[in-house]
Chain A
Amino acid sequence: MTTIIHPDRAPAAGLSEPAKSREVAKSRAAKRAGGLSDRTIAWLFVAPTIILLLAINIFPLIWMIRLSFTSLNLSMSYLPLRFVGLDNFRDILTDEDIWARLQTTAQFVIASVALQVFVGFGLALLINRQFRSHSFWTTIILLPMMLSPAVVGNFWTLLFQPQIGPFNYLVSLLTGVPPSSFSMTGEVALAPWTIVLVDTWMWGPYVMLICLAGLRSIPDYIYEAAEVDRASPWRQFWSITLPMTVPFLMLAVLFRAIENFKMFDMVNLLTSGGPGSTTELVSITLKRAAFEKWRTGYSSALAIILFVTVFGAANIYVKALNRVKQR
């Protein structure tokens, strides 16, 4: 069976064998690949993707790092490019407004992810009881997550209109509060909860779907054994269900946290950061600095600070991802 060349080892195997059989292996490998060795094919296949990402992501990123040390303002681009060292970074990190926006973002991330875990895990537990037609209703629940946050966020502004919006009307039917007495997107006290609510409506199902996979990965025999040991349902939940779903939950939490940290589209259209700056997430601040005030140097520095934050989170994410994968 010396004629079989393992796809992985074709070039390497040839090298380690005596000269004669190496020649044979080489010529066969060459013939099979249509003149190309496996190694060449591997690189030909991977290279376009890497080149595209280098061109669209990495090259602009490096350019941006350079710009972050300048005072470039695109609305005054006639000014010569002036290098200001770390001034932009110093300005950002000592700016109380930026810290306030980061705090708003953190509060949004924590509140929305917590609510999504609550809703998502709760729904997953209920759906896992496999009542009739559960699969149909699961699909219905999943729909919001697949829709465009921008297009849907825009429409929620009609639903939240104080006088004419059906949301306020429904609330007033249930509680008796006049529908025009509160504005979900216009009030300082309500707006932060409004974006959390819409975000949960969209992404609670995401957590649900992942938790459902976690619940279904628990083999029945563990519950059977617990039943033999007369563990109460409560006990079974805390000692079996929860611990075995946690890796999946962690994955969902990390993914949602990263996505919500980057959140721009839905909030931009629903409240555009308002009222005042109560829902101004850091992405919206960045957009204003870069594309309204055209402070390119400054916003490049802010973007880099955000990159580093997300990149740190992404590292944790990939580690968690691999852990779940190994199960």
Chain B
Amino acid sequence: MTAIAKSTAHSIVEASPRAKAIAGTIVILYAVIAILPLVWIAATAFKSQSDAIAYPPKVIFQPTLEGYVNLFTVRTRQTPDFIAKLPPATTWYDKLVRQHDMVIAGPSKVVPRFINSLIIGFGSTFLAVFLGTLAAYAFSRFRIPLADDLLFFILSTRMMPPVAVAIPIYLMYRQLNLTDTKLGMILLYTAVNVSLAVWLLKGFIDEIPREYEEAALVDGYTRLQALRKVVLPQAVTGIAATAIFCLIFSWNEYAFAVLLTSGDAQTMPPFIPFIIGEGGQDWPAVAAATTLFVVPIVLFTILLRKHLLRGITFGAVRK
């Protein structure tokens, strides 16, 4: 690059080094402040109960795995005499719990809740992406009467307030014996996600040139073969991005979960606030659960970086 070109680039479209430095400082400051609550959560997970609620709030503390142990176990308080009579603790977590005059009574409900989140999340994502791909392909490639109205109808179902939707769903599920079942939650989340899936995937499939399929059709492929062997391989990034968005929605969803599930099908979001220790919320355990719950989303967000904009605007803004 010549000196002249460089200087013009700076003066017109590119910010001056000084302007960049100021912008960088403000943005980094904001980012650091914005990320602090998340750092605090991750740190609280490694605090002891008393450190978690100490005044002044502790930045430096002795890390412990108590929070994680408490998250995964149910404990009972025992007298020191009783504990002394027990056979010696064999595992590190038994030892940790006994330091507080407690004995592990069994596993907590966190693992079943986590599994519920996984089953409902993946189940609804798979269904939504499957149905969404078919519908998006049809909307993209065929002339469907009233296509715009149908697409608007599909989108509008997602505009409804979840609490309002939950009222008739609750009544309907009571009749069908679907309250507090994984199947019921999968169907509900699929219905919510399919609107996003159709809109996003239609955008992705629109971008695949028709010529490839037409060539395949001329070569004697059936429509379904062309879809499977020509279109899908090219749409795979879009399908993956859509799937992650659906998964994140199902994973994070709270309103339906808290109103329609109570036990068998309860997912993590309504469960986490009710992780209770002696005297209120067991903050290190809550923080541990929150950390485990949030880490996959953080990884997915980084993976999705390029498609984020598209996902959050229903495909309206691409790039």
Interface residues of A (CB under 8 A from B): 3-8, 31-34, 36, 38-39, 41-46, 48-50, 52-53, 55-61, 63-64, 67, 123, 126-127, 129-134, 137, 139-152, 154-156, 158-159, 161, 163-166, 169, 179, 201, 205-206, 209-210, 213, 216-217, 220, 223-224, 227, 248, 251, 255, 258, 261-262, 264-265, 268-269, 283, 286-287, 290-291, 296, 299-300, 302-304, 306-307, 310-311, 313-314, 317-318, 321, 324-325
Expressed in whole angstroms, the Cα–Cα distance for A33 and B259 within the complex equals 45
Whether B167 lies near A303 (C-beta < 8 A) is: yes
Q: Does B152 contact A (CB under 8 A)?
A: yes
Q: Does B100 contact A (CB under 8 A)?
A: no
Q: Does B233 contact A (CB under 8 A)?
A: no
6 contacts between A and B (CB under 8 A): A32-B222, A64-B167, A166-B57, A201-B37, A283-B163, A307-B160
Kindly specify which of B6-14, B63-71, B104-112 makes contact with the partner chain. B6-14
Expressed in whole angstroms, the Cα–Cα distance for A101 and B254 within the complex equals 22
Kindly specify which of B87-95, B234-242, B308-316 makes contact with the partner chain. B308-316
Whether B290 lies near A264 (C-beta < 8 A) is: no
Chain A contacts for B131, CB-based, 8 A: 48-49, 52
Expressed in whole angstroms, the Cα–Cα distance for A16 and B210 within the complex equals 23
Tell me the interface secondary structure of chain B in the complex. Answer: helix
Whether A210 lies near B55 (C-beta < 8 A) is: no
Whether B163 lies near A264 (C-beta < 8 A) is: yes
Whether B144 lies near A169 (C-beta < 8 A) is: no
Which 6 pairs show the lowest CB-CB distances between chains A and B? A60-B168, A150-B254, A303-B164, A131-B24, A148-B252, A56-B191
Whether B57 lies near A53 (C-beta < 8 A) is: no
Contact of A5 among B137, B217, B255 (CB under 8 A): B217
Whether B312 lies near A53 (C-beta < 8 A) is: no
Chain B contacts for A161, CB-based, 8 A: 53
Q: Which of B37, B38, B144 has the most CB of A within 10 A?
A: B37
Whether A262 lies near B223 (C-beta < 8 A) is: no
Whether B165 lies near A57 (C-beta < 8 A) is: yes
Give chain A nearest CB distance to B223 CB in angstroms: 5
Give chain A nearest CB distance to B180 CB in angstroms: 14
Give chain B nearest CB distance to A313 CB in angstroms: 8
Chain B contacts for A46, CB-based, 8 A: 134-135, 138-139, 144, 150
Knowing A57-B157, A264-B255, A290-B163 touch, does A140 contact B35 (C-beta < 8 A)? yes
Whether B191 lies near A57 (C-beta < 8 A) is: yes
Q: Taking A42-B144, A139-B301, A141-B27 as given, write out 19 further A-B residue pairs in contact, using a Cβ cutoff of 8 Å, ordered by the A residue number.
A: A7-B213, A33-B224, A38-B142, A55-B191, A67-B171, A148-B297, A151-B294, A154-B273, A166-B57, A169-B56, A179-B56, A223-B13, A251-B316, A255-B313, A262-B160, A262-B163, A287-B259, A291-B166, A303-B164
Expressed in whole angstroms, the Cα–Cα distance for A206 and B317 within the complex equals 12
Q: Does B20 contact A (CB under 8 A)?
A: yes
Chain B contacts for A39, CB-based, 8 A: 142
Expressed in whole angstroms, the Cα–Cα distance for A218 and B24 within the complex equals 21
Whether A311 lies near B31 (C-beta < 8 A) is: no
Q: Does B84 contact A (CB under 8 A)?
A: no
Tell me the interface secondary structure of chain A in the complex. Answer: helix
Expressed in whole angstroms, the Cα–Cα distance for A83 and B253 within the complex equals 35
Knowing A7-B142, A290-B167 touch, does A53 contact B252 (C-beta < 8 A)? no
Q: Does B208 contact A (CB under 8 A)?
A: no
Chain A contacts for B103, CB-based, 8 A: none
Expressed in whole angstroms, the Cα–Cα distance for A314 and B319 within the complex equals 24
Whether A7 lies near B28 (C-beta < 8 A) is: no
Contact of A155 among B137, B290, B317 (CB under 8 A): B290
Knowing A46-B139, A48-B131, A59-B172 touch, does A140 contact B34 (C-beta < 8 A)? yes
Chain B contacts for A251, CB-based, 8 A: 313, 316-317
Knowing A33-B224, A36-B223 touch, does A60 contact B24 (C-beta < 8 A)? no
Over the window 184-226 of chain B, the binary record of Cβ atoms lying under 8 Å from chain A Cβ atoms (1 yes, 0 no) is 0001101100110010000000000010011001101111110
Expressed in whole angstroms, the Cα–Cα distance for A41 and B308 within the complex equals 31
Give chain A nearest CB distance to B314 CB in angstroms: 7
Knowing A169-B57, A264-B162 touch, does A146 contact B301 (C-beta < 8 A)? yes
Expressed in whole angstroms, the Cα–Cα distance for A179 and B34 within the complex equals 21
Whether B171 lies near A52 (C-beta < 8 A) is: no
